[in-house]
């Protein structure tokens, strides 16, 4: 097979994107060429790129192939599903026509090492499959958080990762699951995901009620808090919600933004723990039993159960990328998940 022309999204400056045509050569040894069916925007990290708030290094070593530099212009994105059009001479032809997920930037076609492809089970749709990365993050967060029987748990931030994490937590025998987001649509989605109480963190009366909800005769505050809002200011609320020896698991990537923390008397007296959770690695305490293959098996199982494509609110073609990112930037209350569709897939 000769080369393939691809249309690829580039971030070229602050709040500036463009689609460029690129020539891809035929797949070499160990490689495959795929036509993209759909790709999902990861709003948290991609808005940091779009608004020029990214930190100096990418947050995930497993997807460093996306871009080795975060300087403009750059390609970005890591939730793509496509079908295999061609493979290298040393690759089994049985892969041809198969649907697979890859951690690659938004593009109509892409070349990728076969070892980096994750075949999509036949009973999972491409629109559900693009949630693999976010569902993997949610699974990893729950593993790191280790919720307990009868636990009091809070989730701050109900973007896609926050909603998927809430849905997973709702499967545990918790006493209470309290979730927080400023956007009414997301709070409603949190309620549908299984939360016992949904709260606007900008409403002082609602915050007071949430704290009362997380309090009992023998405990004051949450056993476990997940900070997934992407807002550094939310960390202080997370600390305020945690009870004695409570754990705050931080899954947000803040980029260049700094978190100013109140680590005064209550933080020390309550022995509160702040824990980082990042999906590119598996926590040392789990590595004797868990590896990435086992985690992916668990992710596919939860995708089957949750059917996360229900979170898709907007679909765009790649040529409409400017509209897609402007919508995420200026009207987040209208959006849960934005997806790029590629009508030419397989052409």
Per-residue pLDDT of the chain (347 residues; tens, 9 = 90+): 567 999 999 999 999 999 999 999 999 999 999 999 999 999 888 998 999 988 755 445 555 455 557 789 999 999 999 999 999 999 999 999 999 999 999 999 999 999 999 999 999 999 999 999 999 999 999 999 999 999 999 999 999 999 999 999 999 999 999 999 999 999 999 999 999 999 999 999 999 999 888 887 777 899 999 999 988 889 999 999 999 999 999 998 877 777 788 888 788 888 999 999 999 999 999 999 999 999 999 999 999 999 999 999 999 999 999 999 999 999 988 899 999 999 865 44
In a domain, 124, yes or no: yes
- If asked whether residues 267 and 161 sit together in one domain, one would say yes
Task: Give the count of domains, the chain.
Answer: 2
- If asked whether residues 150 and 55 sit together in one domain, one would say no
- If asked whether residues 215 and 326 sit together in one domain, one would say no
CATH code, 238:
3.40.50.720
Helix (H) or strand (E) holding 237: helix 234-241
In a domain, 292, yes or no: no
- If asked whether residues 200 and 123 sit together in one domain, one would say no
In a domain, 140, yes or no: yes
In a domain, 74, yes or no: yes
- If asked whether residues 102 and 173 sit together in one domain, one would say no
In a domain, 29, yes or no: yes
Q: Return the bridge partners of 7, or none.
A: 21
Please classify residue 136 by burial: count the beta carbons closer than 10 Å to its beta carbon, then call 0-12 exposed, 13-18 middle and 19+ buried: buried
Distance (Å, whole) CA 89 – CA 86? 9
Alpha carbon separation from 30 to 35, 87, 116, 235, 310 (Å, rounded): 17, 8, 10, 44, 35
- If asked whether residues 230 and 196 sit together in one domain, one would say yes
In a domain, 165, yes or no: yes
CB 42 within 8 A of CB 80: no
CB 247 within 8 A of CB 154: no
- If asked whether residues 313 and 171 sit together in one domain, one would say no
């Amino acid at each position: 097979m000769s080369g393939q022309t691809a249309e690829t999204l580039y971030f070229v400056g602050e709040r500036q994107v463009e689609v460029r045509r690129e020539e891809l050569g035929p797949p070499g040894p160990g490689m495959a060429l795929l036509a993209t069916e759909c790709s999902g925007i990861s709003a948290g990290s991609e808005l940091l790129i779009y608004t020029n708030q990214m930190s100096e290094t990418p947050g995930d070593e497993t997807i460093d192939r996306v871009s080795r530099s975060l300087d403009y212009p750059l390609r970005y994105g890591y939730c793509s599903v496509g079908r295999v059009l061609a493979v290298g001479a040393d690759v089994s032809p049985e892969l041809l026509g198969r649907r697979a997920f890859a951690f690659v930037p938004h593009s109509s076609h892409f070349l990728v090492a076969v070892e980096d492809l994750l075949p999509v089970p036949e009973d999972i749709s491409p629109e559900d499959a693009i949630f693999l990365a976010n569902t993997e993050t949610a699974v990893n967060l729950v593993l790191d958080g280790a919720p307990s029987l009868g636990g009091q748990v809070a989730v701050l931030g109900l973007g896609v990762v926050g909603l998927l994490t809430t849905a997973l937590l709702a499967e545990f025998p918790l006493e209470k699951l309290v979730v927080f987001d400023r956007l009414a649509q997301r709070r409603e989605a949190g309620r549908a995901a299984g939360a016992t109480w949904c709260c606007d963190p900008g409403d002082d009366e609602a915050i007071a009620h949430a704290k009362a909800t997380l309090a009992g005769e023998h405990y004051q505050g949450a056993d476990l808090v997940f900070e997934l809002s992407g807002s550094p200011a939310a960390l202080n609320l997370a600390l305020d919600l945690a009870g004695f020896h409570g754990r705050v698991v931080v899954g947000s990537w803040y980029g260049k933004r700094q978190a100013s923390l109140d680590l005064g008397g209550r933080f020390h007296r309550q022995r509160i723990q702040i824990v980082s959770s990042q999906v590119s690695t598996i926590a040392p305490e789990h590595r004797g039993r868990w590896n990435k293959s086992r985690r992916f098996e668990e992710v596919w199982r939860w995708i089957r159960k949750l059917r996360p494509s229900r979170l898709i609110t907007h679909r765009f073609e790649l040529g409409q990328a400017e509209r897609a990112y402007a919508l995420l930037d200026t009207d987040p209350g209208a959006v849960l998940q934005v997806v790029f569709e590629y009508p030419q897939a397989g052409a």
